Amino acid sequence: MRKQFAVDPKLDFTIERFIDAPVRLVWEALTKPEHLKEWYMPKAWGRVARAEMDVKPGGIFSIDIANAEGQEFPNLGCFLDVVPGERLVWTSMLFPGYRPAVFDDIPITAIVTMKNEGKGTRYVFTALHRSEADLETNRTSGWQEGTGIAVDQLVAHVTSMK
């Protein structure tokens, strides 16, 4: 799945950051559950209750989040493409082992790329949506805002790992 894709602003959104840390630390923060728990959920909104990852194509991507009231929400998906230190792609459209997913949430495919930039890392997160309505729902629900906050927390966490 190394083909390039074109971001469609009607369907997708992208968050890009420079992280003042090497790619290896960014990769570790993205792929190790103990690190994911530190940044994935906006701290003011809740926490990561559980995280499980088998970082390989077809492997599990499972992150259960708990809101401030303690209510838990499972997030289960499947890795599609894994190039250590370069690219990580997962989707909620499929369950582990590429099994078709059944759920009531807005599905996305997430594409994360990272590359060396000086002594740091250029990090790009793109969320692909199936329709303009899904993107708009994610904007108005707070999901897009929360993703931006989580990326800022990722930057802070990775910087603290140096």
Residue ranges and CATH numbers for the domains of the chain are 14-161 (3.30.530.20)
pLDDT digits (tens, 9 = 90+) for 59-79: 999 999 999 999 999 999 999
pLDDT digits (tens, 9 = 90+) for 18-50: 999 999 999 999 999 999 999 999 999 999 999
**pLDDT, averaged across the chain:** 94
Question: Alpha carbon 102 to chain centroid distance?
Answer: 20
Q: How many CB atoms lie within 10 A of CB 120?
A: 18
Q: Is the pTM of this model over 0.85?
A: yes
In this structure, are residues 149 and 42 in contact, taking their beta carbons and an 8 Å threshold? yes
Q: Kindly report the length of the chain.
A: 162
Q: How confident is residue 1, by pLDDT bands cut at 50, 70 and 90?
A: very low
Q: What percent of the chain is predicted at pLDDT more than 90?
A: 91
- What is the structure's pLDDT at 92? 94
In this structure, are residues 129 and 12 in contact, taking their beta carbons and an 8 Å threshold? yes
Q: Is the pLDDT of residue 2 over 60?
A: no
- What is the structure's pLDDT at 118? 95
- What CA–CA distance (Å, rounded) separates 123 from 153? 13
User: From its phi and psi, is residue 141 left (phi > 0), alpha (psi between -120 and 50) or beta?
Assistant: alpha
Which residues are within 8 A (CB) of 30 and not within 5 positions of it... i.e. 6 or more apart? 36, 88, 112, 154
- What is the structure's pLDDT at 121? 98
For 5-23, what is the mean pLDDT?
94
When mean pLDDT is compared across 6-10, 76-80, 157-161, the lowest value belongs to: 6-10
Rg of the chain over all Cα atoms, to the nearest angstrom: 15
- What is the structure's pLDDT at 103? 76
Q: Is the pLDDT of residue 8 over 60?
A: yes
